[in-house]
Amino acid sequence: MKRTILFLFFFLITVNTYSQDVNFNEYFISQTLRIDLIHAGNFESENYFLEKLIKEPYWGGSKTHLIDKFRYGENIVEVYDYATNKLIYSRGYATLFQEWKATEEAKKISRSFYETVIIPYPVNKIRVVISGRMRRAEFTKMFEFIVDPRDYFIQPSQPPVFEVEKILYNGDPAEKVDIVILCDGYTINEVKKMENDANNIKEYIINCSPFKEFKNNFNIWLVKSISEESGTDIPGERIYKNTILNSSFYTFNIDRYLMTTDIKTVRDLAGYVPYDQIFIIVNTDKYGGGGVYNYYALTSSDNPYVAYVTVHEFGHSFASLADEYYTSEVATEDYYDLKIEPYEPNITTLVDFKSKWADLVEEEVPIPTPSEEKYKGKVGAFEGGGYVAKGVFRPMMDCTMKSIKYNNFCKVCSNAIIEMIKFYSK
């Protein structure tokens, strides 16, 4: 009985912490304040610099779940009402800078990355705080500034120059997960292919569990962004293309890592519609892609595993799912501190396993769990994940976050996706 009362006590504290009473219409209007930053540093240190503020015409996020209950990501933005110091909005996110910090190059030189954060447009003056994790531990405040929504230096966004199409629409963006699909490396003569590829991405997502069980919770928009040239950069083959989003293979010198650092143009185009998530299709048949939490997901359009890459990378960007594989080449070194419980919901160092999926483990399943046939299909803690064979554990023997298999999310990953869908759909 004592344990039950104690659990209920902490549960109520947690619920109260994450469901603070924030009336959207009291503090915000249904538009977006985009905050553009320069994030610079190296392996040991980093700094932020405010670049500009932009007012965009739509807000696609929830109007009820304004405080982030997950706190995933390498960074979190928190917005406080200036007059009362009340927390009125927060959202965790990650960026390419944090990945780059864990590369060998970051030990040798400093670099700057353009970054953007979006929040609902405030009615009154606000205080914005951006915090980051040092070695993936707890958040530490790194940058703070005041925004007056009446400031005439806040720029209006530019009017759309490309056509927009709703390819899936189920209702009010404030009550749906809104995905905007952007396209890179499609010329004016490839618009039909672009449309077909975008519809394929839609089908890959909504026909994969657990997305398909909640497909009515999604809106999907297509921005028909045109490039001067077809394809994308492949630096390792000395191929360079003039494309709208400046995507490139060999990100951080990994040949299959297809990304773009031009987040400014990405956000410019995404702002044509109300959106929660960004998905980018690159017009190439070379295998590759990437996904970063609350940043964007990306896949090449015609690689033979495009269905798998689509949902795997969207698992990263939407639900903060970690990679569960440990044999493929990656750019980062010692990405997870084995003395710290990772924030991602689908891996553990067993430092604080109770905070993860311990409640899903059957009594007869040992922790750690041997990779034996009798535990196939069981939830446990199987060693190997997060790019290392030892010290990091995954929930099941196999999953879409581990192997090249479409429609194969494990129970823990599925639950994390469902929780995120519900968070954005109310």
401-to-68, 281, 324, 407 alpha-carbon distances in Å: 24, 20, 5, 10
Q: In this structure, are residues 318 and 72 in contact, taking their beta carbons and an 8 Å threshold? A: no
Quote the pLDDT of residue 426: 79
Residue of 141, 155, 184 whose CA lies nearest to 282: 184
In which residue ranges of the chain is CATH 3.40.390.10 found?
A: 164-324
Which parts of the chain sit beneath pLDDT 70? Answer: 1-20, 136, 328-329, 331-333
- Give the whole-angstrom CA distance, residue 95 versus residue 196: 29
Quote the pLDDT of residue 137: 78
Domain spanning 18-156, CATH architecture: Sandwich (2.60)
| Contacts by residues 127-131 (CB-CB < 8 Å, ≥ 24 positions apart) | 127/79, 127/80, 127/81, 127/82, 127/85, 128/35, 128/77, 128/78, 128/79, 128/80, 129/77, 129/78, 129/79, 129/80, 130/37, 130/48, 130/75, 130/76, 130/77, 130/78, 131/75, 131/76, 131/78
Q: Give the Cβ contact number of residue 299 at 10 Å.
A: 30
In which residue ranges of the chain is CATH 2.60.40.3250 found?
A: 18-156
Quote the pLDDT of residue 20: 58
Q: In this structure, are residues 326 and 388 in contact, taking their beta carbons and an 8 Å threshold? A: yes
Quote the pLDDT of residue 7: 37
Quote the pLDDT of residue 279: 98
- Give the whole-angstrom CA distance, residue 330 versus residue 328: 6
Length of the chain: 426
pTM of the full predicted structure?
0.94
- Give the whole-angstrom CA distance, residue 311 versus residue 316: 9
Domain 164-324: which topology?
Collagenase (Catalytic Domain) (3.40.390)
Q: Is the dihedral of CA 278, 267, 42, 77 positive or negative?
A: negative
> pLDDT tens, 21-76?
799 999 999 999 999 999 999 999 999 999 999 999 999 999 999 999 999 999 99
Quote the pLDDT of residue 235: 98
Question: Which structure tokens are listed for 404?
Answer: 């090249």
CA distance between the termini of the chain: 34
